[in-house]
A and B are shown apart, each in its own frame.
Chain A
Amino acid sequence: MLNNSGEPQASWLRSIANQAVAEWSLVRGVDEATLRRDAFALYVACYALIRVGNVVAARSRDLEIIYPNYEWVNWVDLRNRLAHQPNPTAPLNPYEVWAAVSQSLPELIQAISGEPPAL
């Protein structure tokens, strides 16, 4: 996306990619088993995902129109569910968090920049 975009879209995309890479650097490599047993790691991952969802949410309507092939809304939806769960005292779903961290986040970075994040 980034290589084919003019301004201001490129600026939005760079902002999202930078945030995603920053959060990726914090949570990369975490596995589902760790998220299941280590609530500290689970909390960290959840907040990292919320922060990514935030920057996507800031431009999601525009992005959905310009880049309809990417499911931007999934990030906003994930952010909302992690931050505004119907039952805040219910256990989190470590699998969902792990899938977002290990698959959706690098996919987002690759979708924007054209390259997967460095491992």
Chain B
Amino acid sequence: MLHQATPAQAAALRAVVEAIEEALFVLHELDPRTLPTERRMLYSAAYGLIRIGGAIEQHCSQLELISPESPWADWVDLRNRLAGKPGQVSVDEIARAVTEDAPQLVRDITGAEPNVGPKVRLEDLPLDDIADFCREWGIKEAYMTPPELTGVYLSGPFEGVELALLVDYHNDAPGRKRHSSMGRLISQHIGIKTYVGGLPAPDNHIQNWPYDAMMARRELVYAE
């Protein structure tokens, strides 16, 4: 759809894609089989669909022009039922909308897969370059963890971060003194927008960080 859209229509389509990708990013580890029993997963999926329906409703006049045959109204109807009559929406309907219909809508709009989930995988990383960087700045260990767990994806200077590294320095490491610059420096070094945080310890981490989740999902990137 995007390639044949006017600027106004393209803006509307991008807003829809943005809402879908945000929701799918939040839900990227969704296992639809857990929806009937895992209420938090069900709620987050429902709210993601509400956000998607809201974006579509906001831009429906432009969307109807570019693709009148698309079921835009169905998305808005689903949003309205989830928001006003949750009992009228089945778990199956939520699961199908999140796992099939929403990604398909992004494909229909952009011609590409939704841009969600972990931005880079371990096997995609330039590990030799990262090792060089770690040695230069006195890093003993470095782990990648899902960026969303560090909160850096939300906004501000970390918006668009693809890789989050949790690092542990030597006591006298030069990187320890320039820790706040490490993200920018390694981003330049490896060509991937990276956030660098300190490796939290169980008894010494920022209060209320999702410590367990970060530790459970970390992957070793470098160790001396």
Contacts and interface: CB of A to CB of B under 8 A. Distances in A.
Interface of A: 26, 31, 33-34, 36-40, 43-44, 46-48, 50-51, 54, 57, 79, 82-89, 91
A103 B123 CA distance: 45
A54 B84 contact: yes
A55 to B, nearest CB: 10
Contacts of A79: 83
B171 interface: no
Contact of A91 (B27, B39, B155): B155
19 contacts: A26-B39, A26-B40, A33-B208, A37-B150, A38-B151, A38-B210, A39-B148, A40-B40, A43-B44, A47-B47, A50-B47, A54-B86, A79-B83, A83-B50, A83-B82, A88-B58, A89-B18, A89-B51, A89-B55
Interface residues of B, number: 39
Contacts of A31: 208
Interface of B: 15, 18-19, 22, 25-27, 39-40, 43-44, 46-48, 50-55, 57-58, 79, 82-86, 148-151, 153-155, 207-210
Nearest to B87: A54
Nearest to A39: B26
Contacts, number: 85
Nearest to A30: B208
B64 to A, nearest CB: 17
B58 A87 contact: yes
B19 A47 contact: no
Nearest to B150: A37
A36 B208 CA distance: 11
B216 to A, nearest CB: 14
A47 to B, nearest CB: 4
